Amino acid sequence: MNVLSRKAILGANDLPSEKIDVPEWGGEVYVRSMNAMERELYEQSIAIGEGDDRKLDFGHLRTRLLLFTVTDDQGKRLFEEGDVEALASKSARAINRIAEVAQRLNGIGVAALDAAKKP
Give the count of domains, the chain: 1
- Does residue 13 form part of some domain? no
Give per-residue pLDDT as tens, 33-76.
Answer: 999 999 999 888 888 777 777 777 677 889 999 999 999 999 89
For residue 97, the enclosing domain spans 18-116
Pair 110, 76: CB distance under 8 Å: no
Give per-residue pLDDT as tens, 65-105.
Answer: 999 999 999 989 999 989 999 999 999 999 999 999 999 99
Burial 85-110 (b: 16+ CB within 10 A, else e): eebeeeeeebbebbbebbbebbebee
pTM reported for the whole predicted model: 0.81
Average pLDDT, the chain: 88
Supply the CATH number for residue 63's domain: 3.30.2220.20
- Does residue 109 form part of some domain? yes
